[in-house]
Amino acid sequence: MPCGNYTRQRMEAGKRAYFEWIPIRPKAPGNQEIFRTFELGDLAKIIMLDTRLEGREEQLGANDPNFSDTSRTLLGTPQLNWFKNELSTTTQPWKIIGNQVMIGAVEILGNPINTDSWDGYPAERQKLFDHLSTNNIDNTVVLTGDIHTSWALDLKNGNIPVGVEMVTPSVTSPGSPINLSALITVQNPHIKYVELTKKGFILVDITPQQVQGDWYNVNTIDQMDASNSCVKSYVTNAGSNVLTLANAPATGHGAFPQALAGPCSRFFVGLEDVSKGVILGLYPNPSADLIKLQTHQIPLETIYAVASDGTRIPLQHATSSWENGTTITSVDLGGLLPGKYFLIIGSDTNRHTLPIIKQ
């Protein structure tokens, strides 16, 4: 990724938002690393990677002279060393890898087709596969998302199988409008199964003897219908490091216990009484020139800023209405001196006060 100031600021803001909204426990206060492990008793260790932010260098095209440079990294050296150590030292029979972007190679006419994945960092993938084969590490199962389509494949270091990968489709996010399965599997014999157009999910069953992935397709994403069916199952037996076709799902999932939720409003969801209007958002605050005010059912004919001495200053504004009484209003702060104010909106019977800072 580019390393400009703006990109770093966006990355740090994204990390902060992730920890504020995704319920994971940080390693330590202020530590924003998300690569970590979980143990499923004495059955499996789940190793979660970060292939997006932690160490990823800017991706290159396959024709770039630096594409295969051995110093280029996807994980970053600290995370790669941590990952290899976890693979070597875990005492559970199964190593289950939580992975964002596809690790297995996918090539057409000998060229990688997606350099956003591990295909874009071949030297780092080779270091990982060398570690697995050199140290005789078996029973590595990579579970991948990201590309919204179904894949089952063997991971090989040359001709040596070092693990397997199962890629889950998405339930609603777009995949491919056309299915190129035949072309892909002919040119990539390590790929056992690929389906690019159907929506669904994977159920993974882990036992001491095997790990099985069952691919389910949903019947529709356009209607309130949760019906689905298992379309393919692949299993890897302990010590084999390859996938074979299974005859039936491992366990199935039974009926979904509750009806699907009904449609909800795009604009406001809550339990409070909104008959007198609600402030939905005010941003950015502080601001040097313009703020955006998102409201629901509040009259906005006049907007004032009240200074610390009580002076009321009318503010220019422009409002765009949505539906159900929701609006976005741009408020011009250009006439204010820097300082703290109260923003007054609404009417005498429906008045709202908001603290703002003019920079």
Kindly state whether residues 156 and 290 are assigned to the same domain. no
With respect to residue 10, please indicate whether it lies within any of the assigned structural domains: no
Structure confidence at residue 145 (pLDDT): 94
Kindly state whether residues 221 and 83 are assigned to the same domain. yes
Please name which of 164, 147, 145, 148 lies closest in space to residue 156, comparing C-alpha atoms. Answer: 164
Structure confidence at residue 14 (pLDDT): 85
Structure confidence at residue 258 (pLDDT): 55
In angstroms, what CA-CA distances link 24 with 14, 31, 45, 75?
Answer: 15, 12, 17, 20
Kindly state whether residues 232 and 84 are assigned to the same domain. yes
Structure confidence at residue 244 (pLDDT): 98
Kindly state whether residues 320 and 225 are assigned to the same domain. no
CATH number for the domain harbouring residue 171? 3.60.21.70
Which of 229, 245, 261 finishes a domain?
A: 245
Kindly state whether residues 165 and 217 are assigned to the same domain. yes
Structure confidence at residue 269 (pLDDT): 47
Residues of the chain with confidence (pLDDT) below 50 = 1-2, 265-272, 274
Structure confidence at residue 234 (pLDDT): 99
Kindly state whether residues 149 and 227 are assigned to the same domain. yes
Kindly state whether residues 162 and 307 are assigned to the same domain. no
Structure confidence at residue 2 (pLDDT): 47
Please name which of 77, 197, 213, 84 lies closest in space to residue 137, comparing C-alpha atoms. Answer: 84
Which of 204, 226, 245 finishes a domain?
A: 245
3-state per-residue secondary structure call for the chain: CCCCHHHHHHHHHHHHHHHHHCCCCCCCCCCCCCCEEEEECCCEEEEECCCCCCCCCCCCCCCCCCCCCCCCCCCCHHHHHHHHHHHHHCCCCEEEEEECCCCCCCEECCEECCCCCHHHCHHHHHHHHHHHHHCCCCCEEEEECCCCCEEEEEEEECCEEEEEEEECCCCCCCCCCCCCHHHHHHHCCCEEEEECCCCEEEEEEECCCEEEEEEEEECCCCCCCCCEEEEEEEEEECCCCCCEECCCCCCCCCCCCCCCCCCCCCCCCCCCCCCCCEEEEEECCCECCEEEEEEECCCCCCEEEECCCCCEEECCEEEEECCCCEEEEEEECCCCCCEEEEEEEEECCEEEEEEEEEC
With respect to residue 19, please indicate whether it lies within any of the assigned structural domains: no
With respect to residue 292, please indicate whether it lies within any of the assigned structural domains: yes
Kindly state whether residues 294 and 212 are assigned to the same domain. no
Q: In which domain, by residue range, is 116 found?
A: 33-245
Kindly state whether residues 167 and 59 are assigned to the same domain. yes
Two tokens, residue 248: 């039936």
Structure confidence at residue 178 (pLDDT): 82
Q: Are 50 and 79 in contact, with CB atoms under 8 Å apart? A: yes
CATH number for the domain harbouring residue 283? 2.60.40.380
pTM of the model: 0.71
Kindly state whether residues 153 and 71 are assigned to the same domain. yes
Looking at the DSSP assignment, which residues form a beta bridge with residue 281? 294
Structure confidence at residue 329 (pLDDT): 84
Which of 245, 264, 288 finishes a domain?
A: 245
Kindly state whether residues 236 and 291 are assigned to the same domain. no
Q: Count how many domains the chain has.
A: 2
